[in-house]
Structure 1
């Protein structure tokens, strides 16, 4: 085991690897994205365009773009490491609080929203959100993962939830 210190001190919160093996993490306390040099362990900070956005989680899509849930800003952002381009979308509702992010095999971006007590599926091809209300009050989904045709949600309300995105044959 090797231990490396995070740049700018405390705050690493979410981590992902891209299809080509690059490793990135986000810092909630520092509100940044960082790439990790796998040989040296050194992390290079990448400043998002929204200051103090409160990055909680990060997930790579099939093209290696990095999708970031931004708690303080109530939005999802994407960074394309190939060209350094950023884009952001505010979640639907009055006071969104974006927590978890997961990108499925179709490159649909799934986001949990504490403020709206909902889960949103964002289609980057159409810039449209589809909203799924939570199954209970204060469901507080902190982690999302999945497998082909299924999105799994872990709720702080002692529930496991699955959304099937492809009908069984």
Structure 2
């Protein structure tokens, strides 16, 4: 049984190398035999063997992506001017705030447009709640939700402009 599992693991490791277009660490004769099977896809009990990462076949994908991300945000390596670095960091914060306010604007708008909030406020015992979270914020009408959505949209635009 154990030998059968190891053979399947070896077969699917060769498949993974073929699909990725990399040179397989297996010998060429065995690789040629396995290349015909590389067209077979699907989920089965051996799926875990096909997705297993190989060591030594190149850089670890996750590490490589995180290193690219770190290099892109390492402002010290781009320039040594402290004022420019501070401006870039400050600008990145405004961009993030713009995205957050845009998300909040959509959340408030959809709460006003598509919920039964005012009906639930008028009769909370007989109407099922769909947006009772707004009551905890002190919002008591759909008009307040619409105004909050517009305000958040204005702040999103303002932060995008400041970026």
Q: What is the TM-score normalised by the length of structure 1? A: 0.17
More strand by share: 1
Structure having the higher Rg = 2
- Structure-2-length-normalised TM-score: 0.17
Q: Name the structure, 1 or 2, with higher relative contact order (CA <8 Å, separation 6+).
A: 2
